[in-house]
A and B are shown apart, each in its own frame.
Chain A
Amino acid sequence: MIPHLLSTRDLSRESAISLLDTAEDMAILGHRDNKKLPALRGKTIVNLFYEDSTRTRISFEVAQKRLSADVINFSAKGSSVSKGESFKDTILTLRELGVDGVVIRHPSSGAPQLLAERDWIDVPVVNAGDGTHEHPTQALLDAFTLRKNIHGADSRGRGLDGAHVIIVGDILHSRVARSNVWLLEHLGARVTVVAPVTLIPAGASRWPITISHDLDSALSQPVDAVMMLRVQSERMRDAYFPNAHEYSQGWGLTEERFAALSPQTLVMHPGPMNRGLEICSTAADSAQSVILQQVANGVFVRMSVLYSILTGTSEVPHE
């Protein structure tokens, strides 16, 4: 079993599929009346959030509570960090308080890896998003959602071999895109990324992806899912693209593009959405949109990750 979850790049296909299978067990539990499992009773997990993210934090918190863990929420705002405490000193403090696991969201790429590799603290670390590096639980929940929709009840033990996924938008600044690229490749899917040239990372031609700057031509191929990424308005000030209208026309999932899309193609978005910019409401609210499934599956995947890493097993007892 993996000691930490820092990135999807370092995750083997076997580990990834094991995590997705355990998430299947968690999903079954999630449909019972009593949704709680006593697996992490007596364990204290801290959600160390150096960056605001209500969605991800709540998803982790629900997962932790369903596993009966004691949860501490640490937000950088209003804490010792806002008084200038160093990252290292905060971690040393947590060590002395005796936590059993850390879920960390941090604006600095690599902060979770430092936490895992330095001798500051010796507990499992789960990366909940670091800078523009990775967001592995998001990629796992995306893969879980894809697998469920493609393979249905027959999902266990399977990858995404042969599936074609298109990721559209600000690849340059997106940790979600990076984690998805690596995980989808491990699971055997084919990935096309579509963005203006300015939003493609330097050297990405060496990644296991097809790069396109033409969304219409990318969508003209058979596509299992199209994943739209959030575009931040400050990118316009930095000359990545001219304006919202041009972005939407060139790289948005507009009414016209959605109308031309095969009804079998899943519409995905990690949220929060900019409706009308990267995605139109018709697409977001359509029958082929799995955006809300992604949210629900996030809890199961995070339960699976915490369960697997903190108990050291992937077997879930069925009482």
Chain B
Amino acid sequence: MSNSLLFRQATLPGGEQADVLVRDGLIAEIGTISSEASRVLDAAGLRILPGLVDLHTHLREPGFEASETILTGSQAAAAGGYTTVFPMANTSPVADNASVVELELSRGREAGYVQVQPIGAVTAGLAGTALADLKGMADSRARVRVFSDDGKCVHDPLVMRRALEYVSAFDGVIAQHAQEPRLTEQAQMNEGELASRLGLAGWPAIAEETIIARDVLIAESVGAALHICHLSTAGSVDVVRWAKQRGIRVTAEVTPHHLLLTEDLAESYDARFKVNPPLRTSEDVLAVRRGLADGTIDIVATDHAPHPSESKECEWDVAAFGMVGLESALSIVLLTMVETGELSWVDVERVMSRTPAQIGRLDWQGLSVGAPARLTLVDPGARQVFATEHLAGRSTNSPYLGRVLPGRIVYTAFEGYLTVDDGALVPAETVAGHALDYAMQRGVPRG
């Protein structure tokens, strides 16, 4: 009984009420439970979901620890209800070999808030020319299956083709940052009347759509798996829909910010709203929502991109691209997709937990007896003015500060222990202690 949790009267994704008992890191029982537990938590009114999985995160370590570390990014993830994150490879040094991805894996395990499942670079040093140590990373202890040069597009079609072919041998997937570089030189925001008026160089939709169109055809010809990062335009939705109808092995993600925010925010020249790909028009927002609702877009991924204040408190064209998103992602999905009736809670489970895990080639057991106890409990009725106190990571470049957002993460559990308890992040030492206990008990190798 020493390490058991009993959630009383939680609401399952499908709407049924149940008690959920967690013991020794696993889901022990779901239903009406009479047995005792070392801790009983009132989950009445709370929606319980399998722990959220983010296929697109920037943890910034190694190399950019002023923005985020594996520990602080893990904390941001837990605060947002996540139990797994896939950190992108654009660290320094770049995650293009086994030693860097193994370092990330170890640091993630030590922190103990979430599973840190590294993404490997496609090309050495993200330079776009020679392939990275793809098989070396796949065979490492980090068992990398997702490869991406995110932040940069694999723009050379020959390199893209070879990478897709090469990783297919070990069931890998290439996650493409679709941005034709010549069409986006110096680009600052969505191309259109507003960018022209503001005097900011335009980032045209076709720069994304032409790469996606090219890559789905390459993926089809070599029979490999392609994933599209942060799809942002109506035209991209059309291309992916066409590719799926054709049977091409393509999956796609949309970020929370592209589900809600539009280019108009650039009018303030406030660089908190500068992101890549840029915020688009309201027509694009409606198109990506529709794409997510009808399954053209498979998942929501945060593209959590922390930056220090000096990279945002400056001229727009000098500022860094990106916004933090882990802590607010579920709230934005509630606001844009659930409260509008476009997605059910079962769909939320699919787009924020099951499918991202499957695209990342992770075993996903969901809310089932015997599955690892990775749980998120959210109070969907809560609303709060989103503020820096809701940010658990190291950076505060959130576009949502000052907005009223629905939903509050009340509990997050990882491997049977709480990482968020009654809405508050559990301290690092406590979590690290649980992680160590869990590792010794299960014989998980220590980094």
- A interface list, Cβ under 8 A from B: 9, 86-88, 106, 108-111, 113-114, 117, 130-134, 172, 175, 178, 201-204, 206-207
Which residues of B175-206 are within 8 A (CB) of A?
Answer: 191-202, 204
Assess the B269–A113 pair: CB atoms within 8 A: yes
A248 to B155, alpha carbons, bound, how many Å?
36
A9 to B192, alpha carbons, bound, how many Å?
17
Which residues of B lie under 8 Å from residue A204 when comparing CB positions?
193, 196
Closest to B191 in A: A202
What is the total of A-B residue contacts with beta carbons within 8 Å?
Answer: 68
Assess the B198–A110 pair: CB atoms within 8 A: yes
Interface residue? B264 (CB, 8 A): no
Supposing A88-B314, A108-B317 touch, asked if A203 and B194 sit within 8 A by C-beta, the answer is: yes
Q: How far is the CB of A85 from chain B (nearest CB, A)?
A: 11
A134 to B196, alpha carbons, bound, how many Å?
11
A117 to B316, alpha carbons, bound, how many Å?
14
Closest 8 CB pairs of A and B: A203-B193, A133-B199, A110-B269, A201-B196, A109-B199, A108-B315, A132-B199, A131-B199
Supposing A202-B196, A203-B196 touch, asked if A106 and B315 sit within 8 A by C-beta, the answer is: yes
Assess the B316–A108 pair: CB atoms within 8 A: yes
Q: How far is the CB of B140 from chain A (nearest CB, A)?
A: 39
B contacts with A, residue count (CB < 8 A): 22
A-B contact pairs, 10 of them (CB 8 A): A108-B315, A109-B316, A110-B199, A110-B200, A110-B315, A117-B268, A201-B193, A202-B191, A203-B192, A204-B193
A86 to B313, alpha carbons, bound, how many Å?
9
Q: Choose from B192, B194, B197, B315 the contact partner of A111 (Cβ within 8 Å).
A: B315
Contact with A along B53-86 (1 / 0, CB 8 A): 0000000000000000000000000000000000
Assess the A202–B313 pair: CB atoms within 8 A: no
Which residues of B lie under 8 Å from residue A109 when comparing CB positions?
198-200, 269, 316-317
Closest to B269 in A: A110
Q: Choose from B193, B202, B315 the contact partner of A206 (Cβ within 8 Å).
A: B193
Assess the B316–A110 pair: CB atoms within 8 A: yes
Closest to B317 in A: A108
Which residues of B lie under 8 Å from residue A172 when comparing CB positions?
196
Beyond A86-B313, A108-B318, A175-B199, 12 additional pairs, beta carbon < 8 A: A86-B314, A110-B269, A110-B316, A114-B269, A114-B315, A132-B199, A133-B198, A134-B199, A201-B196, A202-B195, A203-B192, A203-B193
Closest to B316 in A: A110
Assess the B310–A9 pair: CB atoms within 8 A: no
Q: How far is the CB of A175 from chain B (nearest CB, A)?
A: 6
Assess the A178–B315 pair: CB atoms within 8 A: no
Q: How far is the CB of A220 from chain B (nearest CB, A)?
A: 28
Which residues of A lie under 8 Å from residue B191 when comparing CB positions?
202
Which residues of A lie under 8 Å from residue B199 when comparing CB positions?
109-110, 130-134, 175, 178
Which residues of B lie under 8 Å from residue A201 when comparing CB positions?
193, 196
Q: How far is the CB of B368 from chain A (nearest CB, A)?
A: 51
Supposing A108-B315, A108-B317, A114-B269 touch, asked if A86 and B310 sit within 8 A by C-beta, the answer is: yes
Closest to A114 in B: B269
Which residues of A lie under 8 Å from residue B316 when comparing CB positions?
108-110
Which residues of B lie under 8 Å from residue A203 when comparing CB positions?
192-197
Closest to B310 in A: A86
A117 to B318, alpha carbons, bound, how many Å?
18
- Most chain A CB atoms below 10 A, which of B198, B199, B314: B199
Which residues of A lie under 8 Å from residue B197 when comparing CB positions?
9, 178, 203, 207
Which residues of B lie under 8 Å from residue A87 when comparing CB positions?
314-315, 318
A109 to B315, alpha carbons, bound, how many Å?
8
